[in-house]
């Protein structure tokens, strides 16, 4: 037990120091000069003609790779160049119209000299995210985002921990701000994230729903027996009941059939199954979805309304039907 308490204490101490660092960063971001430098950074990147080239070494380099990926996936074309590799040919990827973002906590990383010099020689705008505003990179930069001096979560105050967390937070804040200002939408996310669970969730429901003859549809005067046949044939757990104009008047689910038969135990089989019509047992004004909504939105609606299927309506007429099972099988959720 004492060992577990020691572990918990160390975890709490490390997280507390990280939180202190983020609090210090938030306070600094609310005041000049960091606030003003961040505003200039966002304005510069909003007018970006080429790509944002991110560079760094060591732990800052790892943060830089992540930030380059975040910028690229949220509408800011971005590319990572390793600080050391830049001197061996990778400087050639930096072109007119690009902006370079360097992450260096010390601000004196020797290996960054060539890429800094390159930006100065060819007039490439340079942004620095650093903990040392007096370092060479900061002095040469067009915009310096100097982060507050904080303790590292490392008990020796050596391993980059809190400092890299702050670098990541600042970069993410810039990316998200650009996302908002550009009106980057869920559809934009879908275009940039076509794969995986995120891509599945951002897929249009139109690509997953059952359509045409795969939709379980009956007329209002169809017998309960006919409804059961349609439920069994289409295996989606729901049947749409349409009026004479083809508009959805109601729905009948597997559960509706079970409850109806339970209430009809004192009636003859012929009366219950063959003489009762669909319109008599259907649920009127059912939950319906709009065409083109994202799959993740559809799943959220189904789960919140505690239903397993719904029709997609176009001008009140069934255009498709979607089920929770279809969405989950497509990788949504």
Which residues have C-beta within 8 Å of that of residue 90, sequence separation ≥ 6? 81, 82
pLDDT score of 196: 47
Residue 272, token pair as written in the block: 């219950």
pLDDT score of 187: 56
Rounded Cα–Cα distance for residues 231 and 257 (Å):
10
Three-state DSSP class for residue 12:
helix
Three-state DSSP class for residue 223:
strand
| Residue 35 CA from chain centroid, whole number | 27
Closest CA to 101 of 172, 179, 192, 159: 172
* Whether 223 contacts 277, CB under 8 Å: yes
User: Stretch 274-284: mean pLDDT, rounded?
Assistant: 92
Lowest-pLDDT choice from 86-95, 156-165, 170-179, 312-321:
86-95
User: Stretch 256-263: mean pLDDT, rounded?
Assistant: 89
More confident residue, 259 or 89: 259
* Whether 260 contacts 289, CB under 8 Å: no
pLDDT score of 93: 81
User: Stretch 152-161: mean pLDDT, rounded?
Assistant: 89
State the pairing for strand pair 283-284/248-253.
antiparallel
pLDDT score of 185: 58
Instruction: For 205-249, write each residue's pLDDT tens digit.
Output: 888 899 999 999 999 999 999 999 999 999 999 999 999 999 999
As to burial, measured by CB atoms within 10 angstroms (0-12 exposed, 13-18 middle, 19+ buried), residue 41 is buried
Rounded Cα–Cα distance for residues 142 and 138 (Å):
8
Residue 133, token pair as written in the block: 């505003």
pLDDT score of 266: 80
Rounded Cα–Cα distance for residues 333 and 330 (Å):
9
Statement: residue 1 has pLDDT above 80:
no
The rounded mean pLDDT for the chain is: 88
More confident residue, 14 or 331: 14
Domains of the chain: 2-184 (3.40.50.10490), 205-329 (3.10.580.10)
Instruction: For 170-211, write each residue's pLDDT tens digit.
Output: 999 999 999 888 876 555 555 554 444 445 556 788 888 999
Rounded Cα–Cα distance for residues 317 and 281 (Å):
20
Closest CA to 72 of 57, 53, 44: 53
Rounded Cα–Cα distance for residues 273 and 180 (Å):
56
pLDDT score of 268: 83
Backbone angles phi, psi at 183, to 5 degrees: 70, 35
State the pairing for strand pair 288-289/309-314.
parallel
Closest CA to 17 of 147, 163, 146, 145: 163
Task: Give 308's DSSP letter.
Answer: S
- Dihedral sign, Cα of residue 69, residue 60, residue 174, residue 45: negative
* Whether 317 contacts 288, CB under 8 Å: no
Closest CA to 321 of 222, 228, 236: 236
Lowest-pLDDT choice from 17-26, 76-85, 183-192, 321-330:
183-192
Instruction: For 40-82, write each residue's pLDDT tens digit.
Output: 999 999 999 999 999 999 999 999 999 998 998 888 888 898 8
**């099988």: which residue's tokens?**
329
Residue 231, token pair as written in the block: 């439920």
Closest CA to 62 of 82, 76, 90: 82
């Amino acid at each position: 037990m004492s060992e577990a308490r020691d572990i918990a204490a160390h975890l709490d101490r490390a997280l507390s120091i990280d939180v202190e660092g983020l609090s210090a960063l938030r306070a600094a971001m609310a005041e000049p000069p960091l606030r003003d430098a961040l505003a200039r950074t966002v304005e510069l990147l909003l007018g970006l003609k080429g790509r944002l080239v991110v560079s760094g070494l060591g732990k800052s380099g790892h943060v830089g790779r992540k930030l380059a990926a975040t910028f690229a996936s949220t509408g800011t074309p971005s590319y990572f160049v390793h600080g050391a590799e830049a001197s061996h040919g990778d400087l050639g990827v930096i072109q007119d119209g690009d902006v370079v973002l360097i992450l260096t906590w010390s601000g004196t990383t020797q290996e960054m000299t060539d890429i800094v010099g390159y930006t100065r020689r060819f007039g490439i705008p340079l942004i620095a995210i650093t903990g040392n505003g007096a370092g060479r990179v900061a002095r040469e930069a067009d915009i310096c985002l100097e982060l507050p001096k904080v303790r590292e979560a490392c008990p020796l105050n050596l391993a980059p921990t809190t400092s890299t967390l702050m670098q990541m937070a600042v970069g993410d804040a810039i990316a998200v701000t650009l996302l908002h200002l550009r009106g980057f939408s869920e559809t934009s996310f879908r275009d940039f994230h076509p794969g995986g669970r995120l891509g599945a969730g951002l897929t249009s429901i139109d690509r997953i729903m059952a359509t045409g003859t795969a939709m379980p549809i009956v007329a209002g005067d169809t017998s309960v027996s006919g409804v059961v046949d349609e439920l069994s044939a289409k295996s989606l757990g729901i049947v749409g009941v349409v009026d004479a104009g083809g508009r959805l008047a109601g729905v009948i689910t597997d559960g509706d059939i079970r409850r109806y038969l339970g209430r009809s135990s004192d009636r003859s089989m012929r009366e219950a199954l063959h003489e009762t019509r669909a319109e008599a047992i259907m649920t009127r004004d059912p939950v319906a979805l709009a065409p083109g909504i994202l799959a993740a939105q559809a799943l959220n609606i189904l789960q919140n309304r505690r239903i397993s299927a719904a029709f997609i309506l176009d001008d009140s007429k069934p255009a498709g039907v979607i089920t929770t099972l279809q969405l989950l099988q497509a990788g949504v959720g």
